[in-house]
């Protein structure tokens, strides 16, 4: 039930970011200055945290999607679907920790 | 594909589609594009945010450097099309679930369709009409290979 909510909420968040992300990237057709100015705002601490949330949403949605496929396709996965929820969160954490380490270093460390 | 036909209890909302199997194909589409998108997007995030200086390296020259390679042009086009169709189809299902008035459903479906098609067309045009070395631009903002082009 909760993973169903997580899947919907992360899906909607990713969709709206995707619309904005194509629009901001389209500024490369306007001028290098216009693109660099807008993408510069993505490097501020606030946006840095929003990006971290976005990467989290993508990883959760993706891994939970794989769990849904597995549960539909195999009776083993269906019987172990609760453990697979744990597997989703563990895989999520395993990728998020090094990502946050590096990304927040870039955002806050000025590296 | 599947032999048993499971009956799905409410609150699953009937889509109102009249074309047979339309919703089955929507389901198959999500199942196929989901794992493909996971690979495309995780790679995209890894290259752009984990390698080099991460988010700090992203500017016009970085994008120009990537799109100089047909691999990344095709990669980004695939991501654009699949992600918008996958996300758009997901949003369509949410509209079916939560928008109960027929007129509201129609308005939201139309807005969604326009947004999805508009963004796909815009993104594809940007990828393939992109000029990495615009003549009137400040040379310091351009990728280094532009010096050889002039």
- CATH code: domain of residue A77: 1.20.1300.10
Q: Could you give the CA distance from residue B93 to residue B49 in angstroms, rounded to a whole number?
A: 31
Cα–Cα nearest to A28, from B128, B83, B118: B128
Residue-averaged pLDDT of chain A: 91
Is the CB of A55 less than 8 angstroms away from the CB of B130?
no
**CA-CA-CA-CA torsion for A78, A83, A84, A89, nearest 10 degrees?**
160
* Total number of domains in chain A: 1
- Structural domain boundaries enclosing A63: 2-109
Cα–Cα nearest to A10, from A49, A51, A58: A58
Could you count the other beta carbons within 10 Å of the beta carbon of residue B10?
6
Is the CB of A44 inside 8 Å of chain B's CB atoms?
Answer: no
> What's the complex ipTM?
0.90
Write the DSSP symbol of residue B140: G
Q: Is the pLDDT of residue B1 over 60?
A: no
Q: Is the pLDDT of residue B150 over 60?
A: no
Q: Which domains does chain B have, with CATH numbers?
A: 27-149 (1.20.1300.10)
What radius of gyration do chain A's Cα atoms show? 17
Is the CB of A36 inside 8 Å of chain B's CB atoms?
Answer: yes
Is the CB of B71 inside 8 Å of chain A's CB atoms?
Answer: no
Q: Which of B50, B94, B130 sits opposite A29 (nearest CB)?
A: B130
Is the CB of B56 less than 8 angstroms away from the CB of A31?
no
Cα–Cα nearest to A98, from A106, B19, B2: A106
């Amino acid at each position: 039930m909760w993973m169903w909510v997580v899947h919907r909420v992360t899906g909607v968040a990713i969709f709206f970011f995707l619309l904005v992300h194509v629009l901001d990237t389209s500024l490369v057709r306007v001028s290098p200055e216009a693109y660099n100015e807008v993408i510069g705002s993505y490097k501020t601490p606030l946006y840095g945290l929003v990006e971290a949330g976005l990467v989290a949403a993508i990883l959760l949605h993706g891994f939970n999607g794989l769990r849904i496929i597995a549960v539909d396709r195999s009776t083993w996965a269906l019987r172990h679907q609760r453990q697979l929820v744990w597997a989703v969160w563990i895989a999520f954490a395993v990728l998020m920790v090094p990502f946050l380490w590096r990304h927040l270093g870039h955002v806050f460390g000025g590296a | 594909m599947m032999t048993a036909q499971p009956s799905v209890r409410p609150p699953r909302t009937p889509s109102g589609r009249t074309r047979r199997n339309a919703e089955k194909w929507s389901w198959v589409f999500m199942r196929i594009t989901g794992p493909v998108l996971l690979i495309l997007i995780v790679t995209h995030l890894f290259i752009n945010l984990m390698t080099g200086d991460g988010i700090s390296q992203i500017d016009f020259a970085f994008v120009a450097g990537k799109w100089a390679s047909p691999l990344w042009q095709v990669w980004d086009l695939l991501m654009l099309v699949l992600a918008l169709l996958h996300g758009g189809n997901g949003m369509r299902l949410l509209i079916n679930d939560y928008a109960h008035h027929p007129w509201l459903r129609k308005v939201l479906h139309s807005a969604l369709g326009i947004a999805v098609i508009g963004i796909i067309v815009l993104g594809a045009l940007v990828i393939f009409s992109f000029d990495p070395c615009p003549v009137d631009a400040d040379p310091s903002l351009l990728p280094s290979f532009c010096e050889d082009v002039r």
